[in-house]
Amino acid sequence: MDILSDVISVVRMGTPGGERVEWRAPWRQDFPDQPGTAGLLVVLQGTCWLIENAAEPTHLAPGDVVFSPHGDGYALADSAATTAAGNEPATTPPTTVTLCGGYELRPEWTHP
């Protein structure tokens, strides 16, 4: 564990969560606004597109990191043109692998 993780757990300011996700084309996942949550995304394998409401889509590749400090909504997709998520069974290898994490900040738990 690093020093920042130690400090966060000692001051109990929120709730962490994370998951490794394997995506298979075609795919799109919309993440709604979550005020009070900081998010982190790391592309581990393959490529994807970050789609935000007020910006042009951004192409992401392995090693790219996206940090969302205010919980603003966004979407991830295999293509900037993909508009709906695929619901097919997972029968092919993943085209993209990401590490997604979030930290729900709880103001009632602020350090004294």
pLDDT in tens, 5-60: 666 565 556 677 889 999 988 889 999 998 888 889 999 999 999 999 888 999 99
Contact (CB, 8 A) for 105 and 14: yes
The architecture in CATH of the region 23-97 reads Sandwich (2.60)
Q: Please choose, from the candidates 31, 24, 67, 84, the residue with its C-alpha nearest in 3D space to the C-alpha of residue 48.
A: 24
Confidence of residue 88 (pLDDT cuts 50, 70, 90): low
CA angle 65, 8, 45 (to 5 degrees): 20
Task: Output the pLDDT for position 77.
Answer: 94
Question: Environment class of residue 92 by beta-carbon count within 10 Å: exposed (0-12), middle (13-18) or buried (19+)?
Answer: exposed
Task: Output the pLDDT for position 59.
Answer: 98
Task: Output the pLDDT for position 30.
Answer: 92
pTM of the predicted model as reported, rounded to 2 decimal places: 0.77
97 has pLDDT over 80 = yes
For residue 13, count other CB atoms closer than 10 A to its CB. Answer: 17
Give me the mean pLDDT over the 85-112 stretch.
74
Task: Output the pLDDT for position 35.
Answer: 87
Helix, strand, coil percent content, the chain, rounded in steps of 5:
10, 45, 45
